[in-house]
Homo-oligomer: A and B are copies of this chain.
C-alpha cells in the first residue's frame, strides 16, 4: 500500500481548539531539533518558564510544560496532589469538570461533587457547604468550561474559602489562559494548568502547569509516590531546574513552538490580549443575538469570552450546518458535547482566532447557511451589531 504526502487544508479554526497557529509559531516549530540535554535547549526551557510565569502571572518556581496535551495537565495536577483515600471536591458543570471526578477516583481519592447546572457558574455557598460538610484536600474546578462556554468568576474569593478550610484550589485554564484575565498569585490559586492549542496559539501537544508553595508542600508531604512516573512533578521538576536530571526526552520542537507562542503574547502584552479577546467576544455575541441566534449561557457575566455556546436555531440541521461551514468556507466550529450534543455549537475566539475578520466571516457564512435551511436570520442586523463593537 502506498501513502500520499499529507496536504492539510488551511482551516479557519473557530472551534473549541486547536486555534489558528500564527506563522511565527510554525517557523519555530520547524527549527532544527537539538538534543534534550543541549545547552541551547536548556536556555529555551528557561525562557519558556520565564514567559509562562508572565502569562500565569505568578512567581511560582514550579512552572513548566508537561509533555502531553491539556488533559495530561489535568491528570498531572490531580495525581500529584492526591493520595489514596484523600478527599477531592469537584465543581462539576460540564464535560471537562466532569472528567475530574473520574481521574480523581483513579488516583484513589474519595470524590464529592458540587453539581452545577450546565450553563451556570458554581455558587460560592455551595462550595462552602461542601467544605463544611467534610474537609477536603483539594477543590477542583474549571475556569473556562469548553463544553458549556461558562467562565467561573470569584476565584480569589473561592481560593480564600478553600484555604480557610485547609483545602488547595486547583483550576483548569485550558480554554482561558492567555485569552481572559487570570491571576495565579493575586488570586492565590494553588495549581493551574492549561493547554498549548487554545488561547496560547500553539499546536496541541504540551500543557503548561504551575504549582504554588502550598501545593509544593503538599507534594513534599506525600506518604506514597505519585502513581504516575511520567507525570511525577518531583522528577519532572529536576529536569526543568538547574539540576537538569534527565527524566524523559523533552518534546523539543513543541517546546520551541511554545517559546514563540509565548513571545507573541509577551509582545502584544497580556492585558491588551485579554482586552482583544473580550472585545471580539462582545462583537460576536452582539452580532449573533442581533441576527436572531440565542446563546446558551444566559448570564452575560458568566460567559467565557474565548468559547461561546450558540444554540442551534429551530429548524436548523446541526451536522449539515457544520459540514457546510467546513466544506464551503473551510471554517471549523465545534459541535455540542454531552447534554448539548446536537443542541449547541461551540465557537472559539482564541488567540489568532479572536480577530475582527473571523467574527465577521463566521456571522456572514452561517447566516447564508441558516437562511437556506429556512431559519429566520437577520444578517444585516447581525453584521451591523458586530461591526459597531469592532469599530467602537
Contacts and interface: CB of A to CB of B under 8 A. Distances in A.
Contact of A18 (B11, B102, B103, B249): B249
Contact of A11 (B13, B38, B227, B332): B38
Interface stretch (A20-28, A131-139, A280-288, A313-321): A20-28
A251 B254 contact: yes
Given A33-B18, A251-B254, A106 B225 contact: yes
Contact of A254 (B7, B249, B254): B254
B27 A252 contact: no
Indicate how many identical chains form the complex: 2
A265 to B, nearest CB: 11
Interface string A220-231: 000001111110
Interface in A239-268: 246-254, 256-257, 259-260, 262-263, 266
A192 B181 CA distance: 45
A18 B36 contact: yes
A340 to B, nearest CB: 13
Nearest to A15: B35
A9 B21 contact: no
B72 A230 contact: yes
A44 interface: yes
Nearest to A225: B106
A49 to B, nearest CB: 11
Contacts of A259: 3, 6
What interface size band does chain A fall in?
35 or more
Q: Which of A229, A252, A254 has the most CB of B within 10 A?
A: A229
A10 B30 CA distance: 12
A29 B32 contact: no
A117 interface: no
B75 A18 contact: no
Interface stretch (A62-70, A148-156, A271-279): A62-70
Interface in A106-142: 106-107
Contacts of A44: 6, 8
B50 A3 contact: yes
Contacts of A305: none
A204 interface: yes
20 contacts: A3-B47, A3-B50, A3-B51, A3-B259, A8-B31, A11-B38, A21-B32, A21-B33, A26-B30, A29-B29, A29-B253, A38-B332, A67-B68, A67-B205, A106-B225, A197-B249, A204-B253, A205-B205, A205-B252, A205-B254
